[in-house]
Structure 1
Amino acid sequence: MECDICHHPHDAQRRPFLCAVDARNRIYEGRMKHLQLMLDNESLKAQIDELLDDTSKPNKHTWDEIIAHRDAAEQKTDQILAAADRLRDDIKAARDEIQARKAAIARRRSDLASVSAGIVERRAKQLREVEKSISMLKFRWSQSAEDMASTRGFLCTEAVRLYGLKRITKKSGTGRYEYHLGKIPIVDLTSMDCE
């Protein structure tokens, strides 16, 4: 093996790869590129520092922009906070309304339960009252019917006594009677259908 550039023979002890001049010349191009990149980097750093120095020295235009941005940010923040407050109020109102509705529904359920539980008792009570009033009416009716019958019997007896109605057995012995009202014969109403 020998050096590609100067064609010296390869010696593992003295020249393991290339001769020193050739090796230096071989890496010189990469070093130049690296140096160029370092210089470009330095120039960019200088430009950045210059721009930062310009912004660190504020002028009127920069101050106006900063104030405008700050005011816009404050207004936006205020709007967001106001919207959040409105949403909180709306949510609270909705929760209150839901609680009120739940309470009303619970009240209605308890009222309905108490009413439905009381309906059976009320119906039974009303039924007992109606049955009691019916039995009272029947009792009064029977009492008044008995009173009327006894009154009619009394009046009929008195009328018979006043007019002198007499019952006379027939001479034929059939067990029938003849009735006379003041010596005038009266037709026996019970025997009208028979004869």
Structure 2
Amino acid sequence: MSAPPFNDLFMQHTCSEPDSRVGNPSPEAQGHATVSYGASRTRFFCPTCARNQLYQLRVETARVLLEKQSIAERIQAGVILETTQAEWSGEIKETSIAYQNGLSTKRSLQIIAKGEAESRERMRLLGDQLDNLTAEIKDKRLEISQRKLALARRHSDSESAQYQLGEREAAILANIQNNTKRTDHLWHSLHSKTAEARIFLCREAANLYGLQRKTRNKEGLSQEVYTMGGIDIIDLRDMNGKLQLCDY
């Protein structure tokens, strides 16, 4: 029985792109994902943090698979040993029968020696396989412990990054709002000063050119007329329809 490759247990993607488990989340949802692990709920701000949280389960799965493989190999070794003993018993019976049938004692001893040599060779092979499996299991356990330490460091870094995150966000937001209000105030102040400057310039230009307002009676109606340098300024409202009459 063979276990799946150990690296595949840690290189599998936890989600497809773009996160098919929850459809197409909004950018706010992608930036504030929440993953439930045990009885706690931890906020994450990127898919990598959420994926790192799942590594613990993968490590446990790898451990179970390794133990399962080790037990299966022990069972197989026991079955092979029983088969060897059965073959050895069969050879002994054959030797006894051969001896009873008149075979020489030398031939019987040769068969027994051959059986012992084959048994020793099989036991040696089984011992080598067992040593190799034991060394491989130790290496895998060491690798698992190293990965656990790496995951613990990542978890600690994640907690450090999330420490007082709400207070820091509130402080940054308040600073931005204050800067925005200050900029708005400066803009309104500058706008008011610009409007006052334009009014002043227009008033001074009117005084320089001698702009005056007079009231005249036209067809029995009182009408305001503006003059500049003694010349009347045409009221644009009086020009409505004049161009159309000239065409006719």
Alpha-carbon distance in 2 for matches of 1:99, 1:169: 100
Instruction: Write the deviation string for residues 13-59 of structure 1: whole angstroms up to 9, x where unpaired.
Output: xxxxxxxxxxxxxxxxxxxxxxxxxxxxxxxxxxxxxxxxxxxxx96
Question: Which of residues 128, 132, 137 in structure 2 aligns to 1:86?
Answer: 132
Alpha-carbon distance in 2 for matches of 1:161, 1:67: 135
The 5 Å alignment of 1:97-112 reads 97-112=143-158
The aligned length equals 125
- Partner in structure 2 of residue 182 of structure 1: 229
Q: Which has the higher strand share?
A: 2
Q: Which has the larger radius of gyration?
A: 1
1:88 positional shift: 0.7
Instruction: Write the deviation string for residues 60-101 of structure 1: whole angstroms up to 9, x where unpaired.
Output: 435533432332232122122112112212321331232133
- Partner in structure 2 of residue 193 of structure 1: none
Question: Which of residues 147, 152, 158 in structure 1 aligns to 2:204?
Answer: 158
The answer as to 2:121 corresponding to 1:75 is: yes
- Letter of the 1:128 partner, please give it: A
Alpha-carbon distance in 2 for matches of 1:110, 1:183: 86
SS in 1 for 2:212: strand
Question: Which of residues 155, 160, 180 in structure 2 aligns to 1:114?
Answer: 160
The answer as to 2:171 corresponding to 1:125 is: yes
- Letter of the 2:171 partner, please give it: K
The answer as to 2:182 corresponding to 1:136 is: yes
SS in 1 for 2:163: helix
Alpha-carbon distance in 2 for matches of 1:69, 1:121: 80
Alpha-carbon distance in 1 for matches of 2:234, 2:168: 61
The answer as to 2:188 corresponding to 1:148 is: no
SS in 2 for 1:103: helix
1:118 positional shift: 4.8
- Partner in structure 2 of residue 65 of structure 1: 111
Alpha-carbon distance in 1 for matches of 2:197, 2:117: 112
- Letter of the 1:69 partner, please give it: G
- Letter of the 2:228 partner, please give it: L
1:119 positional shift: 2.7
- Letter of the 1:146 partner, please give it: S
- Partner in structure 2 of residue 21 of structure 1: none
- Letter of the 1:181 partner, please give it: M
- Letter of the 1:152 partner, please give it: R
Instruction: Write the deviation string for residues 112-169 of structure 1: whole angstroms up to 9, x where unpaired.
Output: 2122225324412320231132023113202311321232122212221232123579
- Letter of the 1:130 partner, please give it: I
Percent sequence identity is 33
Structure 2 unaligned segments of length 5 or more: list them: 1-103, 217-223, 236-248
Alpha-carbon distance in 1 for matches of 2:156, 2:140: 24
- Partner in structure 2 of residue 47 of structure 1: none
Q: Which has the higher contact order (CA 8 A, sep 6+)?
A: 2
